[in-house]
Chain A
Amino acid sequence: MVAQFEIAIQNTGESFCCREDEHVLGAMERALCKGIPVGCRNGGCGACKVQVTQGRYVKRKMNRAVLSLEEEARGVALACKIYPQSDMKVKAIGAMAEAMVARKTSFVSGSTTAAQISRPDKEA
């Protein structure tokens, strides 16, 4: 049984489930659907930069041109290259933060609320 963890996005208050063998961006795309600022999904472009504020994760190699050593040392990561080892809290930064906030705003005014689509049932 593959472990699943809850990932909370502090900017919007949304959360979603992520398997330990999938990257956080992939789970975010699957769970939250629309408006996720997805770039290359492979650690190259830097579009999905987040600050991890809580939780443990495994990371894969990320493009040094878009993520400095100093950033990486203080828990900044590309969501497409981190795999959870516990429940996590992340804060979207840069382009991703703007897109997440814009996305939340557009959903609140629509027929589907962000809350409805952001809480997939957590499997036992």
Chain B
Amino acid sequence: MALTGVLRPGHVVIRVLEMGPALKHYTQVLGLTEVARDGKGRVFLKAWDEHDHHSVVLREADEAGMDYMGWKVDSPATLKKLAADIEKSKLCTDLQWIPAGEHPETGERFRFTIPTGHLMELYAEKKVVGNNCGNDGPDINPDPWPEGLKGCAPSRFDHCLLYGDDFDGTLKLFTEVLGFGIAEQVMAGPDKKLMIGAFLSCSNKAHDVAFIRQPVKGKFHHASFALGSWEQVLRAADILSRTRTSIDIGPTRHGITRGETVYFFDPSGNRNEVFAGGYIYYPDKPRITWYDETLGPGIFYHDRKLNERFLSVFT
């Protein structure tokens, strides 16, 4: 196996103010499928082309934002090794093992707080429930997509963009301990030596997570979901307008990652994105650099400037 270690962002737990409107948004407008609920009132959802049991968890709370993001690793042995590596690095706090079954159909998880204040988890096992495309059994003679999709209908949960203060510590953790590469960076300061944005990949995707240096702890900018084409992004924006969903910006394109995008808000003010495109990342791909004065076209390639909300609105 060539792609090893941390495989992908496997779940994100989003705090919502009221479960009813949130669930309607995530199932009918975004178009995820509900797969389970638990005794704590959490609702577990997945996108149609994800094979694992769940990828998005909604938890009703008094504060909006992200509880934590979970990363699937390639094996239980890798989980143990990376947990030991994280402990040895001394970069993280609140290290703890969450027992198997605390998330339904999920093995034990190793949880830690990273220097920017976000909670992260690693896990190796989650029940494979499939994508419901097989005609003669799971993944046997499959159709390209299943019937009955609703809303924007992204194929997967793709990445998060997060804001935090100890950017350097988090960058060190992800690159030196967890094995991520830096696909793109945003550099600032008089000599352009201060990195203020990093788009990190553990796979062939242009990013699996991104961080922006901001004087806050543990803040959530958006969770993003993958679509297959620019036309699907346009169709998603049509759905968002039709359903009177609060649109932030788009459809447009990001200079960074080249993704085609629309940003919008869930009913608790958490930002969502659906996006398409980008490029294939390899560990030996030359890193792309943006300077702070070109962050405008970097973030919104057509407007060539940030909207006022990009830096100030987060949960």
Per DSSP, chain B at the interface is loop
Contact B246 A63 (CB under 8 A): no
Q: Among the listed stretches B85-93, B163-171, B268-276, which one makes contact with chain A, having 4 or more residues with CB under 8 Å of it?
A: B268-276
B308 at interface, CB cutoff 8 A: yes
Measured CA separation A63–B313 after assembly (Å):
13
Q: Determine how close the nearest CB of chain A comes to the CB of B298; give it in whole angstroms.
A: 22
Q: Mark A47-62, 1 if CB is under 8 A from B, else 0.
A: 1000000000000111
Tell me the chain A residues, 77-124 only, with Cβ under 8 Å from chain B: 95
Q: Shortest Cβ distance from A41 into chain B, in angstroms?
A: 4
A78: min CB distance to chain B, Å? 9
A41 to B268, CA, bound (A): 9
CB nearest neighbor in B for A81: B17
Pick from A39, A44, A62 the residue with the most CB of B within 10 Å. Answer: A44
Q: Which of A37, A63, A64 contacts B269 (CB 8 A)?
A: A63
Q: Which residues of B contact A47 (CB under 8 A)?
A: 309, 312-313
| Residues of A close to B65: CB separation below 8 A | 63, 65
Would B312 and A42 count as touching, CB distance under 8 A? no
Q: Report if A8 contacts B (CB, 8 A).
A: no
Question: Nearest-CB distance from B25 to chain A (Å)?
Answer: 9
A45 interface hit (Cβ, 8 Å) = yes
Q: Is the CB of B312 within 8 A of A62?
A: no
Q: What are the interface flags for B8-41 relative to A under an 8 Å C-beta threshold, 1 for contact and 0 otherwise?
A: 0000000001100000000000000000000000
CB distance from B119 to the nearest CB of A (A): 15
**Contact for B313 among A39, A60, A61, A64, CB less than 8 A:** A39
Shortest CB–CB separation between residue A80 and chain B, in angstroms? 8
Cα(A62)–Cα(B61), bound, Å: 10
Shortest B250–chain A CB gap in Å is 15
Contact A63 B265, beta carbon cutoff 8 Å: no
Tier of interface size on chain B: 20 to 34
- Interface of A, helix, strand, loop or mixed by DSSP: loop
In angstroms, Cα B16 to Cα A43, docked, is 10
A40 contacts chain B at the CB level, 8 A cutoff: yes
- Decide: A63 near B18, CB < 8 A? Known: A40-B246, A43-B268, A43-B269: no
27 chain-A/chain-B pairs, Cβ below 8 angstroms = A37-B308, A38-B309, A39-B269, A40-B248, A40-B269, A40-B309, A40-B315, A41-B246, A42-B266, A42-B267, A42-B268, A43-B64, A43-B268, A43-B269, A44-B265, A44-B268, A44-B315, A45-B269, A45-B315, A47-B309, A47-B312, A47-B313, A61-B17, A61-B18, A63-B64, A63-B65, A63-B315
Enumerate chain A interface residues (CB-CB to B < 8 A).
Answer: 37-45, 47, 60-65, 95
Given contacts A40-B248, A42-B246, A60-B18, 13 further A-B contacts (CB under 8 A): A39-B313, A40-B271, A40-B315, A42-B266, A43-B17, A43-B268, A44-B17, A45-B269, A45-B313, A61-B17, A63-B17, A65-B65, A65-B315
On B, residues with C-beta under 8 Å from A are 17-18, 62-65, 246, 248, 265-271, 308-309, 312-315
